[in-house]
Amino acid sequence: MRTPAPIGVFDSGVGGLTVLRAIHARLPQEGTVYVGDSARMPYGAKGADTVIRYALAAGQFLAGQGAKVLVVACSTASSVALPALRDALKIPVLGVIDAGVTRALAVSRGGTICIAATEGTTRSGAYVRALEHQRPGVKVVARACPLFAPLVEEGSVEGHLADVVVKHHLGGLEAAGVDTLVLGCTHYPLLTQTLRSVLGGGIQIVDGAEGVADELVSILDSRGLRAATDAPRRSYFSTDAPEKFQVMGSRFLGAAVPQVDLVEL
């Protein structure tokens, strides 16, 4: 019997597994194939042309694995590489930015919305453009948080160091009238507890992962691409240190990552 085509998902590392987790919860009968480009992480510190080149390599690899749709589970790649990916691949391509923006506009009580993201995503202006497109005149402030993703990737998500780094990048938000913080990088949901305790209860924290899973359902349904498999295949690839990916990955996925294969893109 032919194995149904999987959903392809990629990130610069393990961060995108926070999105994959939402996809598994929403679409438990779909097969998935994930690639984390850990060898070249962080994407957030690279220039746009480099990120586009890396994203094309990851997208082409996943299309070669038979993916029927591509989820770019990396805000940095979503902010600059979607047009190039859509030109190069014959499958639908979905990014993570719109889902975060839609959710932020739904929960904000009219205060300023803060986008916390990598340097590359912040420089691209993609979140600010998407917010202004959906709600012209919205008050928005963008904060680059270059130390967050490496901190998360090393597992330092709580404790003194995490507190200091969060204060360093996001101090003074409440005083600036911010009522909603968008986690504009798929690594950041692991910092949620620290963000809550440092920022206080007055700021709502928004993660777009569930919205991405909802958008994915609409794409699959509208194109007749839904699969119903009893034992869907879930594969994981990393461009560096599969054992490290496996350990860190379980934390992001909220479940054991059974096996990780090394791949060169």
DSSP 16: T
Site for ligand DGL in 86-125 (CB under 6 A): 118, 121
Does 185 qualify as catalytic in the annotation? Answer: yes
Q: How far is the CB of 129 from ligand DGL (least distance, A)?
A: 16
- 135-172 as b/e, with b when 16 or more CB fall inside 10 Å? eeebbbebbbbbbbbbbbbeebbeeeebeebbeeebee
**Do residues 123 and 90 make contact, with C-beta atoms less than 8 angstroms apart?**
no
Name which position in 68, 103, 187, 234 contacts ligand DGL (CB under 6 A). Answer: 187
**Do residues 151 and 218 make contact, with C-beta atoms less than 8 angstroms apart?**
no
Distance between CA atoms of 120 and 126, rounded to whole angstroms?
Answer: 10
Active-site pick, 17, 62, 74, 209: 74
Name which position in 6, 8, 31, 44 contacts ligand DGL (CB under 6 A). Answer: 44
Name which position in 8, 9, 10, 12 contacts ligand DGL (CB under 6 A). Answer: 12
Nearest residue to 190 (alpha-carbon basis) of 6, 8, 11, 7 = 11
Name which position in 10, 34, 43, 237 contacts ligand DGL (CB under 6 A). Answer: 43
Q: How far is the CB of 118 from ligand DGL (least distance, A)?
A: 4
In the chain, what is the straight-line distance between the N-terminal and C-terminal CA atoms, in Å? 30
Active-site pick, 52, 142, 182, 185: 185
Distance between CA atoms of 10 and 77, rounded to whole angstroms?
Answer: 9
Stretch that binds ligand DGL, among 39-47, 159-167, 219-227, 246-254 (CB under 6 A): 39-47
248 binds ligand DGL per the rule CB under 6 A: no
Site for ligand DGL in 207-246 (CB under 6 A): none
249 binds ligand DGL per the rule CB under 6 A: no
Site for ligand DGL in 142-181 (CB under 6 A): 149
11 binds ligand DGL per the rule CB under 6 A: yes
Does 74 qualify as catalytic in the annotation? Answer: yes
36 binds ligand DGL per the rule CB under 6 A: no
**Do residues 185 and 44 make contact, with C-beta atoms less than 8 angstroms apart?**
yes
Count CB atoms within 10 A of the CB of residue 201. 8
**Do residues 32 and 229 make contact, with C-beta atoms less than 8 angstroms apart?**
no
Phi, psi of 117 (to 5 degrees): -155, 180
Closer to ligand DGL at the Cβ: 144 or 232? 144
Quote the tokens at residue 11: 């990130």
51 binds ligand DGL per the rule CB under 6 A: no
Closer to ligand DGL at the Cβ: 14 or 220? 14
**Do residues 134 and 109 make contact, with C-beta atoms less than 8 angstroms apart?**
no
Q: How far is the CB of 35 from ligand DGL (least distance, A)?
A: 13
Task: Count the site residues for ligand DGL by CB under 6 A.
Answer: 16
- Chain residues binding ligand DGL by CB under 6 A are 11-12, 15, 41-44, 74-76, 118, 121, 149, 185-187
Residues marked active site are found at 74, 185
